Amino acid sequence: MNRRSLSAESLSPLQVPITTNTNLSLKSKSYDRWAVICLIIATLNIMHALWVLIAPEHWYHNLPAGVPEFGPINVHFIRDLGCVFLLHGVGLVFAAFNVSYRLPLFTMNTAFYVLHMFVHVHEVVSGRIRMDETTITFTEIQPLLYRFHKLTHLTLNVRGSAENLANGYLWETSSTIIRLRTFHFIIEFDHHPLIDQSELVDEIFRSFSTPFWLDIKKWYIFITTHGIYTISCYDEQAFILPTFPPLSTSPDYKWFYSKTKRIKLDNNILLKNLNKFYNLERLDLSDEHLLSSIDNINQFIHLRHLVIHKNISNKILGDMLLHNPHINHLTISQNNFNQLFPFKTIRYLHIQNTIKIKNRTQIKQISKIFPSIRRLFIHVSSMRLIYQIINGFQHLDNGVFECQEKIQFMLPEWLKGNTRLKHNTCSFTWRREQNKFLLWINDSIEPSVPSNNDIEDSSNVIEEQRSDKCSLQ
């Protein structure tokens, strides 16, 4: 057989169609399977995008993820997110019928969800979001510590029994703990077991008072009725009794007096140690007699928030605010401000729910005494008073209005038609609850001032950039 006949035989139609049909059959099955997957995911993305784009407010309030917990509604930002989901959906539809584009489009879609997952993980680890309360034992923690045996920095936030977790002897037997340079932990107990259990408290104290904790590592802890903590994890925003510092293994209590930011005083508390809290930012008083008992309140140069739970004479309140211009947040239980001068330093005003504003005269009086209010929490007897408050407080950025009657017709059109929000320089977002109306105003003429809570929230975010650091909750 010559070369020409072999060539003709090799190109025989009996061989080529068999191979070609087999390949086409395999490709068809693979194409159909991945096409269906792409179309299913695309449908979910497009349906989600349409929900976000058409009804952003409904999406904001009804998404199971609890979006309102992260801040006020921003319709523009929500619709931007809807556009992202719409692009992902359209891209996957295109990928379902174009094999050559399938891999990059599917990879981009998957990468988006993976990165979105890491955002949620970071918020859980950093403490911004708390997972459901679950208990854990030291035996369950040990394998995890063993796997991360090269750690040098560890932050631990767990919940369990005092007998099991609050044992310093157990912790110092772990090789991972021994190699750590820094160790911060919060161990919370179930059902406050340390109440009237002095023997257990003494046992816990002794277990964390060994040379390993005090001399080698210098990791000092303090004990409360509901948990034990390293002093680095002391909650600066917790209300404390100023004459009773917690039981601690620290050689002194300088950390306690320097870290405490909030104190709540009542008639049963002695004031002799109050002057030691030089970083005090918030002071809660039950009545004006305690205020007059403080020797020199001007010593608290960091004091920003004053809370008075009962009615106070205008003379004492006026002298207090006049001699402490650094106070910008006031919580009071009164609505009569006669004989008071205007205080422009007050930016945040909270009138407690025992007081209800009933007429326009009271609104005019409050806006005259506190002309620079940016955040207001107030109770009104009628919804009609809300737009009068918005017009009366020209610098208002955020308002929380509680009303005796159920809020029904508070709509954007109603606000624009009856308040200063009708101007083009103002934009606003709002949220309506049962008998509460929340309002956020963005005035382009007056730049907004960040609140103390916003600053605290941003500072509480833990950014761990080194691979040898770990934060577990």
Nearest to 377, CA basis, from 404, 350, 342: 350
pLDDT category of residue 451 using cuts at 50, 70 and 90: very low
DSSP SS3 for 398: strand
Task: Let me know if residue 232 belongs to a domain.
Answer: no
**pLDDT value, residue 238:** 66
Instruction: State pLDDT tens for residues 131-181.
Output: 445 678 888 888 888 888 888 999 888 888 888 889 999 999 999 999 999
Q: What is the pLDDT of residue 99?
A: 84
Contact (Cβ atoms closer than 8 angstroms) between residue 448 and residue 442: yes
| Closest C-alpha among 86, 106, 107 to residue 38 | 106
Task: Tell me if 222 is assigned to some domain.
Answer: no
Into how many domains does the chain fold?
A: 2
Q: What is the pLDDT of residues 267-285, one digit of tens each?
A: 655 566 677 788 888 888 8
pLDDT band at 294 (very low <50, low <70, confident <90, very high): low
Length of the chain: 473
Residue 205 has a pLDDT of 94
Least confident stretch, 97-101, 250-254, 469-473: 469-473
**Does 29 score more than 80 pLDDT?**
no
Instruction: Output 228 or 355, whichever has higher pLDDT.
Output: 228
Asked whether residue 56 is domain-assigned, the answer is yes
Residue range 337-346, pLDDT digits in tens: 776 778 888 9
Flag whether pLDDT at 324 surpasses 70. yes
3-state DSSP: the chain helix, strand, coil percent, rounded to 5? 45, 15, 40
Please give the C-alpha separations between residue 384 and each of 140, 243, 381, 397, in angstroms, as whole numbers.
58, 47, 9, 19
Q: What is the amino acid identity at position 205?
A: F
Report the helix count and the strand count for the chain, using DSSP H and E.
Answer: 18, 16
The pLDDT, as a whole number, for residue 129 is 52
- Looking at per-residue pLDDT, the higher value among 25 and 442 belongs to 442
Residue 384 lies in a domain: yes
Q: Decide: 38 and 96 in contact? Cβ < 8 Å.
A: yes
Which pLDDT score is estimated for 472?
A: 55
How far is the C-alpha of 259 from the C-alpha of 62, rounded, in Å? 40
Domain end residue (candidates: 68, 92, 125): 125
Average the pLDDT over 360-370 and give the result.
Answer: 87
Residue 259 lies inside a defined structural domain of this protein: no
Q: Are 328 and 346 in contact (CB under 8 A)?
A: yes
Domain residue limits at 66: 16-125
pLDDT digit string (tens) for 79-100?
Answer: 898 899 999 889 888 888 888 8
Inform me whether the pLDDT recorded for 69 exceeds 50: yes
Q: What is the pLDDT of residue 326?
A: 87
Measured from the Cβ of residue 18, the count of other Cβ atoms closer than 10 Å reads: 10
The per-residue pLDDT for 455 is 36
Choose one of 92, 125, 158: the last residue of a domain: 125
Query: Please, are residues 82 and 63 in contact by the beta-carbon 8 Å criterion?
Result: no
Residues of the chain above pLDDT 90, percent: 16
For helices 75-96 and 16-54, the axis angle rounded to 10 degrees is 170
Instruction: Look up residue 76 and give its amino acid.
Output: H
Task: State the pLDDT at residue 27.
Answer: 45
For 443, the 3-state DSSP assignment is strand
Amino acid at 455: I
CA dist 83 to 49, 62, 119, 187, 372, Å? 7, 19, 20, 43, 39
When pLDDT is averaged across residues 112-121 and rounded to a whole number, the result is: 84
**Res 210: pLDDT:** 95
Give the range among 71-75, 136-140, 357-361 with minimum mean pLDDT.
71-75
Whether residue 251 is contained in a domain is answered as no
Q: Give the residue from 90, 125, 160 where a domain finishes.
A: 125
The strands making up 227-230's β-sheet, listed across from edge to edge, are 247-248, 221-224, 227-230, 182-189, 153-160, 469-472
Instruction: Look at the block and give the residue holding tokens 């600066």.
Output: 236
pLDDT in tens, 183-226: 999 998 876 667 778 888 999 999 999 999 999 999 999 998 88
In a domain, 352, yes or no: yes
Which residues are within 8 A (CB) of 50 and not within 5 positions of it... i.e. 6 or more apart? 82, 86
Residue 197 lies in a domain: no
Give which of 153, 181, 183 is closest to 470, Cα–Cα: 153
